[in-house]
Chains A and B, each alone.
Chain A
Amino acid sequence: EDKVVQSPLSLVVHEGDTVTLNCSYEVTNFRSLLWYKQEKKAPTFLFMLTSSGIEKKSGRLSSILDKKELSSILNITATQTGDSAIYLCAARNSGGGADGLTFGKGTHLIIQP
């Protein structure tokens, strides 16, 4: 059974700090890994990673995939209160059956002013 594990489950930091969120996966026929930010109900797409070692960057957020270690990290630099959210990691396989994603439980990030 496919599994995605995120750590930490929750994290409280001060504005301006840098945070690193972790995601590890066990997925049959792994195809891609996605990061989402969930503030209220709807997760919003951040990154999709398919190749190992290539950093994806968007403003203060960046992410990288390590296929050897079956893991990914999401970095947020110079955090702001608006970064407070649940960050979800999801992995997709390329096998048969459903084409949805397997999600981790998320990291609940709280940025204190």
Chain B
Amino acid sequence: SAVISQKPSRDICQRGTSLTIQCQVDSQVTMMFWYRQQPGQSLTLIATANQGSEATYESGFVIDKFPISRPNLTFSTLTVSNMSPEDSSIYLCSVGPGTGEVAKNIQYFGAGTRLSVL
């Protein structure tokens, strides 16, 4: 499986500020995803990070609030913009190594970023 480094591991932020979370993989991967896990809830997909093009967002998530970059096949960032306490959550980067259906079907997760917004 791919080794995924996600940082920061945790942060406490003020309302109205923005935080950028980084995800670095030790090998080139086809698919990269960003998930959110709110307290007591399961994982919800925010978007698929596409290399060299705009991310594909799920219903309820928009680029202005969660801008995503993916400049190459090993790195992606997620920014949580203009934060409010409702954004307090764990944010997880996920990758699908391999190609084709393997990449889509088996995802591995980073260690996550625990964000608290005051």
Contact = CB atoms under 8 A, between A and B. Distances in A.
Given A42-B92, A88-B42, A98-B47, A48 B105 contact: yes
Contacts of A45: 1, 106-108
Interface in B30-50: 31, 33, 35, 41-45, 47-48
Among B107, B109, B111, the most chain A Cβ lie within 10 Å of the Cβ of: B107
A42 B109 contact: yes
Interface residues of A, number: 25
A32 interface: yes
Contacts, number: 66
A65 to B, nearest CB: 13
Interface of B is mostly: strand
A97 interface: yes
A89 B38 CA distance: 17
Given A34-B106, A45-B106, A100 B112 contact: no
A17 to B, nearest CB: 25
Interface of A: 31-32, 34, 36, 40-45, 48, 50, 88, 90, 92, 97-106
